[in-house]
Amino acid sequence: MNTRIKTFLATAFVATLLLSVSCKGKTEQNTKVSTEQIETNEKQSKEYASTYVCPMHCEGSGSDTEGTCPKCGMDYVANVEHQKDGHTHK
């Protein structure tokens, strides 16, 4: 094989290897951040943050008054972690 072709192929291989290694770390980091954001948003959504919540945390459930979940029919339970004004006293 021609020396130029060998050099080109070697350079292309090294560049591909470097890009795949550097992108892998960023993908894992972005996934971790996204998972943390999802968990935080989930805990702030209506089915977690209402005064009364469905024990199954069905999507769209949760209320400021007692009742039943429109999705599964279970009775709402008082949300012991409910913070009406956004803070707790410890």
**Residue with token string 């009775």:** 75
| In 1-90, alpha helices (H) | 3-44, 46-49
Q: pLDDT, tens digit, for every residue of 40-67?
A: 555 567 778 888 999 888 888 888 999 9
What would the two tokens of residue 18 be? 């470097």
Q: Report how far residue 25's alpha carbon sits from residue 72's, in angstroms, rounded to the nearest whole number.
A: 41
Q: Name the pLDDT band for 75 (thresholds 50, 70, 90).
A: very high
> Is the model's pTM score more than 0.85?
no
Stretch 29-42: mean pLDDT? 59
User: What value does the mean pLDDT take over residues 3-27?
Assistant: 75
Q: What pLDDT was estimated at residue 89? A: 44
